[in-house]
């Protein structure tokens, strides 16, 4: 455990001194800022039922597709191809600590990125005090719910990236692998639901399973304040499973 903190500190330090971190952050924040602005603009023209922050969180998948692979593809594949994974393995450090520190570093950064988007509603409220007064910009409940969802789903997304990075020595392959897997996980569940909705009769267990995988449904529930244990279980268990597999992979492929 002691080594985990040393490694995590090292990971965060490397993130801090690496230019890629700042590039990813600038790209992420400018894209998200633009989208938030677009949502606010759309609300001015046509009245909407849902709050801007809820609409904003609905497009969480856009940054996930590029930020998660960018953040994680280097983590293990890069160390393996440069050989520093070997030197790490010669120290009395457990494999679990290595994987967890990689996950921890990427996850903390991912969450920091999302938390910094909270500045958007604050900036908007500063410029449009009337809207803020009506409570539609800074309503706390959907923010808490939405960010709980982001924190939970982040566990799964980052572990997908870490796993993809652990099975190859090429960063490019790792990046593409995590991108496609994320695509299948996020969009695939919705598409399956669409198939069943378009008339095909599914057996009860199949539709139950598909419901279980509805990431967008989870987001809806969370931002409406319905904190369900099923998605909680889904994200954490799959995340832990993937991290466990990554540990086995680096143990076997050292």
> Does the CA dihedral 27-28-34-38 come out positive or negative?
positive
Q: Report, in Å, the least distance between residue 175 CB and other proteins.
A: 20
Q: Report, in Å, the least distance between residue 6 CB and other proteins.
A: 5
Q: Which is nearer to other proteins, 94 or 209 (CB)?
A: 94
Alpha-carbon gap, residue 11 to 175, rounded angstroms: 19
Q: Which is nearer to other proteins, 94 or 194 (CB)?
A: 94
Q: Which is nearer to other proteins, 93 or 170 (CB)?
A: 93
Binding site for other proteins (CB under 8 A): 3, 6-7, 10, 14, 17-18, 82-84, 86-94, 254
Q: Which is nearer to other proteins, 90 or 203 (CB)?
A: 90
Q: Report, in Å, the least distance between residue 7 CB and other proteins.
A: 7
Both structure tokens of 118 = 């909270």
186 CB-near residues (< 8 Å, 6+ apart)? 61, 64, 65, 215
Q: Which is nearer to other proteins, 47 or 92 (CB)?
A: 92
Q: Report, in Å, the least distance between residue 93 CB and other proteins.
A: 6
Please classify residue 57 by burial: count the beta carbons closer than 10 Å to its beta carbon, then call 0-12 exposed, 13-18 middle and 19+ buried: buried
Q: Report, in Å, the least distance between residue 195 CB and other proteins.
A: 43
Alpha-carbon gap, residue 108 to 154, rounded angstroms: 10
* Cα 128–Cα 110–Cα 211 angle in degrees, nearest 5: 90
Q: Report, in Å, the least distance between residue 70 CB and other proteins.
A: 17
Q: Which is nearer to other proteins, 51 or 97 (CB)?
A: 97
Alpha-carbon gap, residue 179 to 68, rounded angstroms: 8
Alpha-carbon gap, residue 69 to 63, rounded angstroms: 10
Q: How far is CA 88 from the centre of its chain?
A: 27
């Amino acid at each position: 455990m002691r080594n985990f903190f040393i490694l995590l500190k090292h990971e965060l330090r490397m993130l801090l001194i690496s230019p890629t971190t700042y590039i990813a952050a600038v790209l992420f924040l400018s894209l998200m800022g633009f989208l938030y602005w677009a949502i606010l603009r759309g609300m001015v023209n046509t009245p909407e039922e849902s709050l801007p922050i809820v609409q904003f969180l609905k497009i969480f998948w856009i940054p996930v597709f590029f930020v998660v692979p960018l953040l994680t593809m280097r983590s293990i594949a890069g160390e393996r191809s440069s050989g520093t994974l070997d030197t790490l393995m010669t120290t009395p450090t457990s494999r679990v600590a290595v994987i967890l520190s990689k996950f921890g570093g990427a996850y903390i950064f991912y969450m920091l990125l999302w938390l910094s988007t909270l500045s958007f509603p604050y900036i908007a409220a500063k410029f449009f005090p009337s809207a803020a007064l009506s409570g539609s910009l800074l309503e706390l409940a959907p923010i808490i719910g939405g960010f709980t969802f982001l924190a939970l789903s982040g566990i799964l997304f980052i572990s997908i990236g870490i796993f993809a990075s652990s099975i190859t020595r090429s960063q490019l392959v790792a990046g593409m692998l995590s991108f496609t897997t994320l695509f299948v996980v996020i969009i695939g569940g919705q598409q399956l639901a669409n198939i069943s909705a378009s008339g095909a009769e599914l057996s009860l267990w199949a539709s139950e399973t598909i419901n279980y995988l509805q990431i967008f449904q989870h987001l809806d529930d969370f931002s409406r304040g319905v904190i369900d244990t099923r998605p909680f279980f889904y994200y954490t268990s799959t995340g832990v499973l993937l991290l466990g597999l990554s540990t086995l992979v680096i143990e076997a492929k050292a």
